[in-house]
Amino acid sequence: MAENIPQDKEKKPGRLVRTETKFSERSYGSGPKGGDVFKLAIAVALVVAGLWAFYNVQNLSIYVRALFPVVGVIVGLLIIFYWCDFGRRLVVYVRDSVVEFKKVVWPSRQDAVRMTFFVVVFVAVLSLFIYAVDSLISWLFFDLLLKRG
């Protein structure tokens, strides 16, 4: 049985049709590049240097020494998020995730409570079934087959 499918008789060779997709086509890359690895190493070195200064510079007040790791972490984060491509891609990924999260249609409170109740009841019934099957198998194995009951 052949279907009648309308044929477009005016096909023009070489004509491109532009289609647009609904979803974001951003590429988040596979990982940090060579230059970014060096920048990430600098950020880690600053954090380690801040921790080293906190524990090894004993002649300063504890409040001043506490600033060393804090400054190391802040400068390291600034390097990662503003100087590295890895950090910029991470920020773009988080922004896109927030946009997609805002598109989610959440169920009403009544629906959420009803579905939660159904899940709890189903889990209770399933656990009772598993308990009954386990008890039956134990009774068959230990009492009937091994005569240990």
| 8: in domain | no
Question: Does residue 103 or residue 149 have the better pLDDT?
Answer: 103
Q: Is the pTM for the entire model greater than 0.85? A: no
- Residue 20 confidence class, pLDDT cut points 50, 70, 90: very low
Residue 112 host element (H or E):
helix 109-138
Q: Domain of residue 99: give its range.
A: 32-104
Q: Determine how many CB atoms are found less than 10 A away from the CB of residue 69.
A: 19
SS3 77: helix
Predicted local distance difference test score (pLDDT) of residue 28: 55
Predicted local distance difference test score (pLDDT) of residue 109: 95
Mean pLDDT of the chain: 82
pLDDT in tens, 51-88: 999 999 889 899 999 999 999 999 999 988 888 888 88
Question: Does residue 146 or residue 119 have the better pLDDT?
Answer: 119
| 12: in domain | no
- Number of domains, the chain: 2
- Report the candidate in 42, 119, 54, 39 with the shortest Cα–Cα distance to residue 87: 39
Same domain (yes/no): 79, 92: yes
Question: Does residue 31 or residue 61 have the better pLDDT?
Answer: 61
What tokens does 54 get? Answer: 């906190």
Identify residue 60 by its one-letter amino acid code: L
How far is Cα 117 from Cα 128, in angstroms, rounded to an integer?
17
Same domain (yes/no): 133, 111: yes
